[in-house]
Amino acid sequence: MNIMNGGMHAHWQGADFQEFMIAPYGAGSFQEALQWGAEVYRALLGLLEEKGLSVGVGDEGGFAPLVQSNEEPLALIVIAIEKAGLKPGADVGLAMDPASSEFFEAGRYRLRTEGREVEAPALVEYYQRLVAAYPLVLIEDGMAESDWAGWKQLNLALGDSIELVGDDIFCINPQIIARGIEEDIANAVLVKLNQIGTLTETLRATQLAQRQGWGAFVSHRSGETVDSFIADLTVALDTGHLKTGAPACGERVEKYNQLLRIEEDLGGAARYAGKGAYVRPVRF
C-alpha cells in the first residue's frame, strides 16, 4: 500500500521520492493484511495531524505532507505502524518507489527536498543507509531508466539483501528485461499490463523474469479506473505482491475488494504469500 506520496504524485511538495509503501507480510491471510494496512493508514493520518502536517493526498491516495527529507516519511510510517499496535519489520515492512528518473538531470540526481545533487554512487550509499536503518524489503526504480551503470552499482550493493524492481527501465518489455538479466542490474520487474500493451507480452515478460529467479510485482497506474483485473492477474501469475494505492480511493480499494473475493472463493485452498512474496528473504 502506497500510504505516503512525494515527487510528481504530490506536485513536488515534500519528498522527492514518489511512493512510500507498507507491506503487511506478517498477517495470516490477505483479509488480515488488508485490515492491518488500513489501521496503519489511519494511524498515520492521526500522527500527521498531531504534528500539524498536511493530510491532503496524492495521486494514489497516500498522504503528501511537507516533509524535510526523503527519510522522514520512513520514520513517520514506522511510528504509525507502532501506533497501530504492530511491529515494524516483523509484522509490516516498508517499500519505496523513488521514481528516480523524475529527478535525474544531466547525470546527477537532484534531491530538491534536501537541497543537494548527487551522482549514482552517493545515491546508492543513501539507499544502503536507509536499508540499514529501516525495515525496507523493496526498492522500485532506485536509479533512473537511462542510468544502467547506476543500476549495476545498486544491484551490487543491495541486490542480495532486498528486492530491486525495475519499472521505467524495463517497461515490461521482454527484450529489455532479457538485457537486464544478462547484465545483472536488478532482481525483479514491475508488471504493468497496459505499459507493454497486450496480455500476451505481459505474460511472456513475467514468465521470463520468473524463470530467471526474478520477482514480479504487479502494479496499478497513477491514472486508474475501478476495473479490478490486475487483482486477478496477480493471483493468476502467482506473483505474490501487488501495489494498488492507499486504502482510500474507490479505484484503489476495488482491487483490494477483488482480492478479498478471490480469497473467499478459494476458501481453504487460499495461501497468503506474506514474506514469501519477495525474491530476497525478508531479514526480520
Dump pLDDT digits (tens) for 238-279: 999 999 999 998 999 999 999 999 999 999 999 999 999 999
Burial class of residue 230, CB neighbours in 10 A (0-12, 13-18, 19+): buried
Computed over every residue of the chain, the mean pLDDT equals 95
| Of 60, 72, 145, 224, catalytic | 60
| Of 192, 224, 243, 263, catalytic | 192
pLDDT > 90: what percent of the chain?
A: 90
Contact 244, 22 (CB under 8 A): no
Which cell numbers hold the place of 148? Answer: 544502467
Tell me the three state secondary structure of residue 89. Answer: coil
CB atoms within 10 A of CB 189: 31
What pLDDT sits at residue 245?
93
Q: Flag whether pLDDT at 130 surpasses 90.
A: yes
pLDDT-derived band of residue 233, with 50, 70 and 90 as boundaries? Answer: very high
Domains of the chain: 2-269 (3.20.20.120)
What pLDDT sits at residue 82?
98
- What is the mean pLDDT of the segment spanning 23-38? 98
Name the strand (E) or helix (H) holding 152. Answer: helix 148-158
pLDDT in tens, 71-110: 999 999 999 999 999 999 999 999 999 999 999 999 999 9
pLDDT in tens, 178-200: 999 999 999 999 999 988 889 99
Distance (Å, whole) CA 158 – CA 123: 12
pLDDT-derived band of residue 16, with 50, 70 and 90 as boundaries? Answer: very high
Distance (Å, whole) CA 154 – CA 175: 21
Q: Clarify whether 192 is annotated catalytic.
A: yes
Q: Flag whether pLDDT at 11 surpasses 90.
A: no
Residue 221: what residue type? R
Lowest mean pLDDT among 59-68, 124-133, 233-242, 253-262: 59-68
Q: Flag whether pLDDT at 14 surpasses 90.
A: no
Distance (Å, whole) CA 9 – CA 64: 8
